[in-house]
Amino acid sequence: MSQPRVVVTGIGALSPIGVGKDAFWEGLLRGENGIREIQVMDTSKHRTHRGGEVRSFGILEDRWTAEEHRLGRASKLAIAASREAWNDSGLAGVKVPPRRIGVACGTTSGESQIFEEEVAEFLDRGHEGLNINRLEYFPVDVIGSSIARHLGVQGPVNTLTTACAAGNYAIGCAADLLRSGAVDVMIAGGADMFSQTAFTGFNSLLAVAPECCQPFDKLRRGMLVSEGAAMLTLETLPHAERRGSHIYAEVLACGISNDAHHMTAPHPEGLGAVTAMHNALRESGLKLEEIDYISAHGTGTPANDKVETLAIKKVFGARAYEIPMSSIKSMIGHTMGAASALEAVACAMAIQHRVIPPTINYRNPDPLCDLDYVPNEARNHPVTVALSNAFAFGGNCSTLILANHARH
């Protein structure tokens, strides 16, 4: 096959447990809980009051251009992560034709904060209350476009909105474009700011836990709404090797599927999840025994964790019990469109550092969730191949497989 291999050469991450990829990774290894009382909105009339927030924009804290200053929070989180990934990959000093560099960013709620502020004015005062100079930054294509504008790149720019699986969809889309030969470099990942709509909506579905996120625990009570961003620099292997770049991992495959079942509930047998994992495994050409670590979707809702466990058993059979599997959502909450991108970062770092981040808040075993969830403490474990699941509203399922590029 003449298609080039695709590798990760740069990482940027902003999360409730740390801003910057190293702070994020150290937080994961410490098993830090990033869930706090929510500051960004008044929760006094809501059922729950806790969530995850990002405390700074990291390397770009006060360095916005006048134009960027006007952007919404999701775009800023996305740009900050992209800038870190760009710098980390060492592309800043390299001449790559700008048309050979593209962007793929996933998001769930987009700039929902702008919408929430403007709709409050609109409901209060009618269209006299609307500020068009602010609304202009609401349509979600602003996120991908703002990253491209910030980096000055001219290749294909896509903003993908496949809800909570959007990060994986963006990484998969980017890998496909790289393999097709249309581009040499892609900045890909996901971003979401803390959305009042998501917080209120998931609460209305009674899907939010009051205190903490306890994936796979018998007493788990739901997800925690959160925010964050992660972007990865992806390149074709020849391009990365030619410039002597550091390589974190190889993107082996991104399998996607859809439950074709229900807008909010997962398929009871995990139909889409199983297909996504099968698609990814087939595309990677790997055997089941070669998977060393599973980064779970693991939201902490009763339904997800049960169905995901079931789906993994269907795919891996007896081997399922031997693969360590953790949910970093236990620490950072559900960062929506950023979640699977942050999980991809965790997988790349796990491959690099040979450590698996834990599932914290795990106390009570559930007979329906009986796999090895790496409870409460990070574990030294060589990871050559990592598989990362992300599932979403509307039945969208995705499985990303990352591997040590020098594994053979």
Partner 1 sequence: MTKRIVVTGIGAISSAGTGVDAFWDALVGASHEPQFPVRFDTQALDSRRAHEVREIERTALPVRKVAGERGMQFAVACAYLALKDAKLEFDALDPERVGVVYGSTLEAVRALTEFHRRVSKEGPRCADPGLFPNTGMSAAACQVSISLGYRAFNTTISNGATAGLDAIIYGYNMLLADRADFVIAGGVYPLCYESFLGYMLAGVLSPGDTGIARPFDAQRCGTVLGEGGAALLLETYESAMARGVKPLAEIKGGASVFDPTTKPGYGLQARGATAAMQDALERSSLSVKEIDLVVANASGDRAADCMESRALLNVFGKSDVPAVTAPKATIGECLSASGAFHVAAAALALSRSTIPATMNFEAPGKGCRIEPIRQTVRNDSLRNAIVNSYGYLGINTSLVLAAA
Query: Mind telling me the catalytic residues?
Result: 164, 297, 334
196-204 and 112-125 helices, crossing angle to 10°: 80
Residue with tokens 């927030």: 53
Q: Is the dihedral of CA 375, 171, 209, 216 positive or negative?
A: negative
The H-or-E segment that residue 240 falls in is helix 237-242
Which range of residues in 185-193, 194-202, 237-245, 346-354 is near partner 1 by CB under 8 A? 194-202
CA–CA distance from 44 to each of 38, 48, 55, 309, 369 (Å)? Answer: 10, 8, 22, 35, 34
Q: Does 115 bind partner 1 (CB under 8 A)?
A: yes
Q: Which of 11, 80, 173, 230 binds partner 1 (CB under 8 A)?
A: 173
Nearer to partner 1 among residue 87 and residue 352 (C-beta): 87
Q: Which of 144, 215, 270, 324 binds partner 1 (CB under 8 A)?
A: 144
Please give the residues from 205 up to 264 whose contact with partner 1 meets the rule CB under 8 A.
205-206, 256-264
Q: Does 15 bind partner 1 (CB under 8 A)?
A: no
Q: Does 392 bind partner 1 (CB under 8 A)?
A: yes
CB hemisphere CA count around 310 (13 angstroms): 15
Q: Does 139 bind partner 1 (CB under 8 A)?
A: yes
Q: Does 299 bind partner 1 (CB under 8 A)?
A: no
Which range of residues in 31-39, 202-210, 213-221, 300-308 is near partner 1 by CB under 8 A? 202-210
Q: Does 103 bind partner 1 (CB under 8 A)?
A: yes
- DSSP states of 316-380: HGGGGGGS-EE-THHHH-B-GGGHHHHHHHHHHHHHHHTEE--B-S--S-BTTB-S---BSS-EE
Nearer to partner 1 among residue 173 and residue 351 (C-beta): 173
Q: Does 39 bind partner 1 (CB under 8 A)?
A: no
Question: What's the min distance (Å) between Cβ of 124 and partner 1?
Answer: 8
Please give the residues from 50 up to 69 whose contact with partner 1 meets the rule CB under 8 A.
65, 67
Question: What's the min distance (Å) between Cβ of 166 and partner 1?
Answer: 8
Question: What is the phi/psi pair of residue 72, to 5°?
Answer: -75, 170
